[in-house]
Amino acid sequence: MRINQLPVTVYKVQPSRFYLGSLRPASKGFTLIEVLIALTLLSIMVVLLFTTLKICADSWEKGENKINDVNQIAVVYNFFQHHLATAKPLSTSNAEGEKTLSFQGQIQSLQFVSSFPASAGKLGLQLFTIKLLEDDNDQYIYVSLVPFATLSEDEEPAKKEEVTLISHVSTFKLSYFGSDDIVSEGAWADEWVNKETLPKLVKINITLANGMFWPEMIFDLKVNGVEENNGPAPNIIDNSQDISEPEAVE
């Protein structure tokens, strides 16, 4: 039996040039040079940003320090203006009855009697002592005060109050202008010790360790002369007579 054979056409399949991945657009990445350039630009921007912030912070700090320095000058000036300018010409008496003016000034120390304003809450006269002291390689202006009042022998002296007026002081110098009598014109001196009257002017020069400029301060003492006491009191301070006290500035 003969089977009819149909002609078979053989087709040769060529490999396709199109793949599944070619149906999507090819993804494009960054080259190494582009990444390095981007990182360099980012670093420059960060450095500029932090530099600007540091400049702003330094300017702010300098402004704050300047304000603190100005406030410090104002505090010191107001202290001397309120108390030193209204110093009282009171005298003290020792056991032998010798009278000494309470105002005793040297080139780096000063003692005087003055009062606080009513708002300070301290009544009565106070004996101020101002000195330049040194501690741990740092110099500072020290202020102590005790009540200036007549005490009996049975009473204990009042507690001394101490405070640092200003720290980091390089130089502290006091000068006094006046004369021993009302006839002489007077002159500047580095000491005012064992005098009978108050000086007319007191000049204060302060220099800080940081080199900051401090203006020269000159104060006119509003009260002059000496107050006579009724009688001696051994080793105590006597202010028994009434004194014309100028109104203290707050």
HEC states along the chain? Answer: CCCCCCCCCCCCCCCCCCCCHHHCCCCCCCCHHHHHHHHHHHHHHHHHHHHHHHHHHHHHHHHHHHHHHHHHHHHHHHHHHHHHHHCCCCEEECCCCCEEECCEECCCEEEEEEECCHHHCCCCEEEEEEEEEEECCEEEEEEEEEECCCCCCCCCCCCCEEEEEECCEEEEEEEEEECCCCCCCCEEECCECCCCCCCCEEEEEEEECCCCCCCCEEEECCCCCCCCCCCCCCCEECCCCCCCCCCCCC
The pLDDT confidence band at residue 220, using thresholds 50, 70 and 90, is: very high
Question: What percent of the chain has pLDDT above 70?
Answer: 70
One-letter amino acid at 90 equals L
Question: Residue 55 phi/psi, 5° resolution?
Answer: -60, -45
pLDDT value at 111 more than 90: yes
User: Is position 50 within any domain?
Assistant: no
User: Is position 186 within any domain?
Assistant: yes
pLDDT value at 119 more than 70: no
Could you give the CA distance from residue 102 to residue 194 in angstroms, rounded to a whole number? 9
Buried-state track 125-154, b at ≥16 Cβ within 10 A, e below 16: bbbbbbebeeeeeebbbbbebebbbeeeee
Pick the range with the lowest mean pLDDT from 107-116, 133-142, 178-187.
178-187
Could you give the CA distance from residue 148 to residue 74 in angstroms, rounded to a whole number? 27
The pLDDT confidence band at residue 5, using thresholds 50, 70 and 90, is: low
pLDDT value at 8 more than 70: no
User: Is position 51 within any domain?
Assistant: no
- Mean pLDDT, all residues of the chain: 77
Could you give the CA distance from residue 193 to residue 144 in angstroms, rounded to a whole number? 19
Task: Write the CA distances from 10 to 3, 6, 7, integer angstroms.
Answer: 20, 12, 10
Report the pLDDT averaged over residues 194-200.
88
pLDDT recorded at residue 46: 93
Report the pLDDT averaged over residues 125-129.
91
User: Is position 145 within any domain?
Assistant: yes
Give the count of domains, the chain: 1
Residue 214's domain comprises: 68-152+162-237
One-letter amino acid at 153 equals E
| Residue of 78, 87, 106, 76 whose CA lies nearest to 200 | 87
Place of tokens 């009565």: 124
User: Is position 157 within any domain?
Assistant: no
pLDDT value at 107 more than 90: yes
User: Is position 57 within any domain?
Assistant: no
